[in-house]
């Protein structure tokens, strides 16, 4: 017999992340590596389990193989539960036919049955493209305290960047009276973080209406939220303070990785009370050979360094040969940088090989953009990959 | 052909009292992120052994904490998996009443039920003081082919490189690999063939050996089983030729750890295809090297934060090295905190040690300076 869950999380992980180009040609954005030993989806999943939410539906659509494989039974996040836990929810063929997820709201609507199995009072909607640590339990307490129908987490952004976000205008008590998706002339600096808590009955009602509206693009930001606001539902903005970064672009992904470095890093992973969990292979400890030089960098298990690593984030099992230089770069797992090769201001996906004496990217100070090499790309010995290159090319 | 494993977690505890005061031999931290038992367990798992009994004796809380359900070794199974076998102390009047086992034979007798009720054809027995990456499938095949009653894994150890400072079995074999004689002694020179205490035996043979031991009142595995069995049974020695080190004292722990800084050791212990070494996952963040860090020839686990100079060291998870600190030839276990400008040479710290700013400590390769669990210097 099923018991009730107070709050169920729905994690939207079907996005292609087309602005990450080469990094998402074979994998969905939430499965992209971050910070050496994590994937983007580790952050919302760890936040859930740290916040006491143990039932998470992960909605997948685009290139789900790696993501399914990575999440598996949810064991690394302690989400392998007898009741609840993490469940992968792909689009499916139903009685009335089969459909892809048409938008964020439609994806949730198609999985209303999953939500209702747990008979929750609240549903939290998350997305798999942000790096942050957040206690959803506090947000849920806020939602209950305000007696809200919908609570949207917001973060203060600089006014000049506000037109990139969904912007909320609120009263003093936090109630939202206006919502503008990517406004040209923003009236506020409270940006939506794409994290919503709904009272389930209200959510179900609006999703049903939205599903019947042929003109809707079935999106929370474009359709559901404005509709609820227009109807006078109680909607509140939950102010979040702390690190939060959308890693939807090459430059923001690079920046977020760099935010882990420095004496007082912008984003601190060292915190025993809010651990970020991840699935990883059994790798030996990292070895820094004779003559190696590793400064202002983050390295993880299985790395073997004989050369120089500076201002960089290295994933598991990265080999840096003698005389090789890695600078201002993000290098994902299982990549080999052979002797004498130089990698500057670049992002290298998993399984890349940079041949002997090859050059990838240019000095950050003068480079025209970040060089990006997709998964398993091979740079030949002495080959030169210019700054800002995106390889392989046909994407 | 199926096999089950049996691991003795406490045998040799007395040889390294500094590290086994609060834990078993099996749970001694080694190689940045492992415990000694990880090698025995991983070797078994990598050889398709999925039923493993772990015999404990005393202070095995840290071992239980490390093993958990066994899921990190893929040994959380419905059928088989890891079975902890605490000492069987009878409350009734018999020869085991209120008494812990005292040697290998008694320990094995205590595990008789585990051996009786597991369905494997062969048993692989192992201690936890040997560090090696070995394929037991090959040992078992060799055992079957030779028709031996018992196969011991032997290793030629270069006494100069891996000094062994407690008595071990020095084996004598004939040209066919049959064990003809052995002596228990401290090897002094050359490359003697020593017993790694890894054994393969048919499960039913082990059970009859246990019955025989009980019936005849055998006391010791060495004197009664091995010595007396030499002539009437075929005891075979399988010579292991990979990288090997044995921990027999604090000095050999130091030498055996420093040996990991060679490429040979790393490649043949950690980088063997399809034979990874597993351990408990701690989910530490990656290690951070500050702008002032200078690290060479060192093995470092995740979760460290390094601002100083580190040379020829083994750093476990969560170690912090302050600004201007200089560490040479040190082994710092989990969550050791080294203050700014401290200067350490040939120091071994147990878990959670705090070394304050500007402290200067030095041991020697032959006598490392040891700081116990949770101490503050």
B72/chain A closest Cα distance in angstroms: 9
User: Can you tell me the ipTM of this complex?
Assistant: 0.91
- The whole-number pLDDT of residue B226 equals 87
What gap in Å lies between CA B171 and CA B192, rounded to an integer?
A: 8
Query: Which residue in chain A has the smallest CA separation from B42?
Result: A282
Contact check, Cβ <8 Å, B271/A277: no
Is the CB of B62 inside 8 Å of chain A's CB atoms?
no
Q: Which of residues 64-83 of A touch B (CB under 8 A)?
A: 75-76
pLDDT band, residue A333 (cuts 50/70/90): very high
Segment A30-53, tens digit of pLDDT? 999 999 999 999 999 999 999 999
A93/chain B closest Cα distance in angstroms: 34
Q: Do domains B3-270 and B288-371 have the same CATH topology?
A: no
What gap in Å lies between CA A79 and CA A55, rounded to an integer?
A: 8
Partner-chain residue, chosen from B291, B296, B303, that has the shortest CB–CB distance to A295: B291
pLDDT band, residue B275 (cuts 50/70/90): very high
Instruction: Say which residues have a Cβ less than 8 Å from residue B374's Cβ, sequence separation at least 6.
Output: B350, B351, B352, B353
Q: Does the B288-371 domain belong in CATH 2.160.10.10?
A: yes
pLDDT band, residue A1 (cuts 50/70/90): low
In this predicted structure, the answer to whether residue B92 has a pLDDT above a threshold of 70 is: no
- The whole-number pLDDT of residue B196 equals 94
Is the CB of A264 inside 8 Å of chain B's CB atoms?
no
Which residues of chain B lie closer than 8 angstroms to A76, CB-CB?
A: 281, 283
A265/chain B closest Cα distance in angstroms: 11
- Chain A interface test: which of B285, B309, B313, B337 (most A C-beta within 10 Å): B285
Segment A255-282, tens digit of pLDDT? 999 999 999 999 999 877 899 999 988 8
**CB count, 10 Å around CB of A323?**
16
Contact check, Cβ <8 Å, B289/A298: yes
Partner-chain residue, chosen from B277, B293, B297, that has the shortest CB–CB distance to A295: B293
B82/chain A closest Cα distance in angstroms: 18
In this predicted structure, the answer to whether residue B90 has a pLDDT above a threshold of 70 is: no
Is the CB of A145 inside 8 Å of chain B's CB atoms?
no
Partner-chain residue, chosen from B281, B296, B301, that has the shortest CB–CB distance to A290: B296
- Alpha carbon B187 to chain centroid distance? 20
pLDDT band, residue A126 (cuts 50/70/90): very high
Which residues of chain A lie closer than 8 angstroms to B295, CB-CB?
A: 288, 292, 294
- The whole-number pLDDT of residue B96 equals 54
Is the CB of A291 inside 8 Å of chain B's CB atoms?
yes
Q: Which of A166-175, A262-271, A290-299, B97-106 has the lowest mean pLDDT?
A: B97-106
Contact check, Cβ <8 Å, B301/A275: no
Partner-chain residue, chosen from B283, B295, B301, that has the shortest CB–CB distance to A288: B295
- The whole-number pLDDT of residue B22 equals 84
Contact check, Cβ <8 Å, A294/B71: no
> Considering the entire predicted model, what is its pTM?
0.93
Interval B298-314 mean pLDDT: 98
Is the CB of B286 inside 8 Å of chain A's CB atoms?
yes
Helix (H) or strand (E) holding A280: none
Which residues of chain A lie closer than 8 angstroms to B298, CB-CB?
A: 287-288
A294/chain B closest Cα distance in angstroms: 7
Query: Which residue in chain B has the smallest CA separation from A314?
Result: B286
Instruction: Please report which residue ranges of chain A form alpha helices under DSSP H.
Output: 42-50, 65-71, 104-109, 112-117, 136-146, 200-212, 225-230, 250-258
Average pLDDT, chain A: 94
- The whole-number pLDDT of residue A297 equals 98
Give the residue from B365, B169, B161 showing the smallest Cα distance to B250: B365
Contact check, Cβ <8 Å, A285/B289: no
DSSP code, position A29 = G
Query: Which residue in chain A has the smallest CA separation from B308?
Result: A295
A154/chain B closest Cα distance in angstroms: 27
Segment A204-223, tens digit of pLDDT? 999 999 999 999 999 999 99
In this predicted structure, the answer to whether residue B100 has a pLDDT above a threshold of 80 is: no
- The whole-number pLDDT of residue A41 equals 96
Is the CB of A295 inside 8 Å of chain B's CB atoms?
yes
Contact check, Cβ <8 Å, A282/B278: yes
Segment B337-349, tens digit of pLDDT? 999 999 999 999 9
Question: What dihedral angle (degrees, nearest 10) is formed by the CA atoms of B347, B352, B356, B360?
Answer: 0
Bridge partners, B294 (sequence order): B309
In this predicted structure, the answer to whether residue B241 has a pLDDT above a threshold of 70 is: yes
Question: Is there a contact between B263 and B278 (Cβ–Cβ < 8 Å)?
Answer: no
Q: Which of A120-129, A314-323, B162-171, B204-213 has the lowest mean pLDDT?
A: B162-171
Where are chain B's structural domains? 3-270, 288-371
Contact check, Cβ <8 Å, B287/A292: no
What gap in Å lies between CA A76 and CA A61, rounded to an integer?
A: 22
Interval B273-294 mean pLDDT: 95
pLDDT band, residue A139 (cuts 50/70/90): very high
Is the CB of B43 inside 8 Å of chain A's CB atoms?
no
Helix (H) or strand (E) holding A249: none
Average pLDDT, chain B: 92
B68-75's contacts with Cβ under 8 Å and 24+ in sequence apart are: B68/B280, B71/A75, B72/B278, B72/B279, B72/B280, B72/B281, B73/B38, B73/B41, B73/B42, B73/B45, B73/B278, B74/B45, B74/B50, B74/B278, B75/B41, B75/B45, B75/B50
Interval A93-109 mean pLDDT: 88
Segment B35-87, tens digit of pLDDT? 999 999 999 999 999 999 999 988 889 999 999 999 999 999 989 999 999 88
Is the CB of B344 inside 8 Å of chain A's CB atoms?
no
Is the CB of A282 inside 8 Å of chain B's CB atoms?
yes
- The whole-number pLDDT of residue A293 equals 97
What is the topology classification, in CATH, of domain B3-270? Spore Coat Polysaccharide Biosynthesis Protein SpsA; Chain A (3.90.550)
Give the residue from B106, B93, B3 showing the smallest Cα distance to B46: B3
Contact check, Cβ <8 Å, A295/B281: no
Q: What is the C-alpha radius of gyration for chain A, rounded to an integer number of angstroms?
A: 22
């Amino acid at each position: 017999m099923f018991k009730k869950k107070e709050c169920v999380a729905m994690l939207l992980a079907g996005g292609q992340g087309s602005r990450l180009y080469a990094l998402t040609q074979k994998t969905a954005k939430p499965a992209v590596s971050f910070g050496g030993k994590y994937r983007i989806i580790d952050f919302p999943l760890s936040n859930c389990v740290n916040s006491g939410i143990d039932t998470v539906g992960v909605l997948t659509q685009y290139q789900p193989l790696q993501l399914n494989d990575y999440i598996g039974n949810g064991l690394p996040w302690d989400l392998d539960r007898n009741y609840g836990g993490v469940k992968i929810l792909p689009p499916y063929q139903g009685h009335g036919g089969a459909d892809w997820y048409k938008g964020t709201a439609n994806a949730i609507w198609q999985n209303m049955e999953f939500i209702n199995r747990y008979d929750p009072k609240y549903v939290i909607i998350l997305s798999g493209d942000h790096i942050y640590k957040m206690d959803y339990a506090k947000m849920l307490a806020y939602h209950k305290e305000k007696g809200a129908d919908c609570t949207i987490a917001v973060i203060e952004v600089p006014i000049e960047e506000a037109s990139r976000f969904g912007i909320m205008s609120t009263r003093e008590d936090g109630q939202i009276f206006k919502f503008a998706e990517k406004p040209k002339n923003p009236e506020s600096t409270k940006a939506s973080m794409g994290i919503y808590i709904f009272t389930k009955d209200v959510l179900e009602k609006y999703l049903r209406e939205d599903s019947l509206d042929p003109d809707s693009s079935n999106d929370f930001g474009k359709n559901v939220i404005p509709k609820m606001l227009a109807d006078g539902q109680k909607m509140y903005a939950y102010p979040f303070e702390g690190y939060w970064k959308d890693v939807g672009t090459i430059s923001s992904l690079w920046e977020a990785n760099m935010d882990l470095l420095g004496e007082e890093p912008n984003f601190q992973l060292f915190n025993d009370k809010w651990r970020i969990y991840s699935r990883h292979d059994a790798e030996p400890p990292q070895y820094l050979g004779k003559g190696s030089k590793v400064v202002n960098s983050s390295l993880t298990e299985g790395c073997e360094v004989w050369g120089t690593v500076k201002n960089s984030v290295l994933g598991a099992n990265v080999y840096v040969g003698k005389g090789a230089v890695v600078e201002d770069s993000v290098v994902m797992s299982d990549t080999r940088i052979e002797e004498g090769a130089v990698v500057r201001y670049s992002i290298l996906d998993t399984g890349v090989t940079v041949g002997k004496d090859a050059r990838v990217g240019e000095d950050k100070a003068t480079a025209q953009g970040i060089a990006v090499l997709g998964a398993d790309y091979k740079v030949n010995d002495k080959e030169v990959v210019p700054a800002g290159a995106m390889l392989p090319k046909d994407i | 052909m199926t096999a089950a494993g049996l691991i003795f977690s406490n045998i040799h505890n007395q040889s390294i009292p500094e590290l086994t005061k609060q834990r078993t031999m099996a749970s001694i931290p080694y190689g940045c992120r492992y415990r000694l038992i990880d090698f025995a367990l991983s070797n078994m798992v990598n050889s398709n052994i999925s039923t493993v009994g772990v015999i404990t004796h005393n202070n095995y809380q840290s071992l239980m904490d490390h093993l958990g359900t066994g899921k990190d070794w893929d040994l959380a199974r419905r059928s088989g998996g890891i079975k902890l076998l605490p000492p069987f102390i009878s409350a009734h009047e018999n020869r085991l009443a209120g008494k812990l086992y005292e040697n290998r034979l008694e320990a094995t007798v205590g595990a008789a039920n585990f051996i009786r009720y597991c369905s494997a054809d062969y048993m692989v027995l192992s201690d936890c003081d040997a560090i090696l990456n070995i394929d037991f499938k090959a040992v078992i095949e060799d055992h079957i082919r030779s028709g031996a009653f018992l196969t011991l894994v032997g290793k030629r150890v270069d006494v100069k490189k891996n000094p062994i400072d407690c008595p071990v079995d020095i084996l004598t074999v004939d040209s066919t690999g049959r064990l003809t004689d052995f002596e228990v002694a401290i090897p002094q020179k050359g490359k003697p063939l020593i017993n790694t205490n890894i054994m393969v035996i048919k499960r039913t043979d082990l059970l009859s050996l246990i019955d025989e031991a009980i019936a005849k009142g055998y006391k010791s595995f060495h004197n009664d089983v091995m010595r007396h069995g030499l002539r009437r049974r075929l005891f075979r020695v399988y010579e292991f030729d990979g990288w090997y080190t044995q921990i027999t004292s604090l000095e050999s722990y130091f030498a055996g750890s420093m040996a990991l800084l060679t490429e040979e050791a790393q490649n043949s212990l950690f980088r063997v295809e399809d034979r990874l070494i597993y351990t408990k996952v701690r989910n530490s963040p990656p290690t951070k090297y500050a702008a002032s860090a200078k690290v060479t020839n060192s093995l470092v686990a995740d979760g460290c934060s390094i601002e100083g100079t580190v040379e020829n060291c083994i750093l476990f998870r969560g170690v912090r090295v302050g600004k201007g600190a200089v560490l040479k030839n040190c082994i710092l276990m989990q969550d050791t905190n080294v203050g700014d400008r401290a200067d350490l040479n040939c120091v071994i710290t147990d878990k959670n040690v705090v070394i304050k700013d500007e402290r200067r400590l030095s041991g020697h390769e032959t006598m490392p300076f040891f700081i116990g669990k949770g101490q503050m210097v």
